[in-house]
Amino acid sequence: MEKYLLIESRDPYETREVENNYALASSLAIAGNDVTLFLVQNGVLPARKGAKLNGLQEVINSGVHVLGDEFSLRERGIAMDTLPKGIRAAPIDVVVDQLAEGRKAIWL
């Protein structure tokens, strides 16, 4: 098993490639890897309650650790206690932690 850190800075509403990125995260997890998908910048927009998840639910179901950057959530007025089940708010420290541990990291 390998460890991956995927950083998604874009949302699936403006950029179709994001759905491919979600599928990549799922496929890595289904293949038995430990995968974190860190949503940042507009990447957190699907984390608003009621937003269309456009494939993000499958990512959650596949066992990927889906995290939303606290600053990006706050900047967009998305309350951290209303995130969909399976998405957790997290500080950017997590990214530095996982880079430091040597995970395979991809800025998507």
Q: How far is CA 29 from CA 26, 61, 62, 77, in A?
A: 5, 10, 6, 30
Candidate residues 3, 19, 33, 80; the one interacting with other proteins per rule CB under 8 A:
33
Q: How far is CA 2 from CA 5, 90, 103, 104, in A?
A: 10, 22, 8, 8
Candidate residues 8, 36, 37, 40; the one interacting with other proteins per rule CB under 8 A:
40
Q: Does 81 bind other proteins (CB under 8 A)?
A: no
Question: Which one, of 50, 48, 49, 52, lies nearest residue 14 by Cα?
Answer: 52
Candidate residues 51, 53, 80, 105; the one interacting with other proteins per rule CB under 8 A:
105
Contact residues: other proteins, CB under 8 A: 2, 4, 7, 9-10, 17, 20, 23-24, 27-28, 30-31, 33, 40-42, 69, 71, 92-93, 95-96, 99-100, 102-108
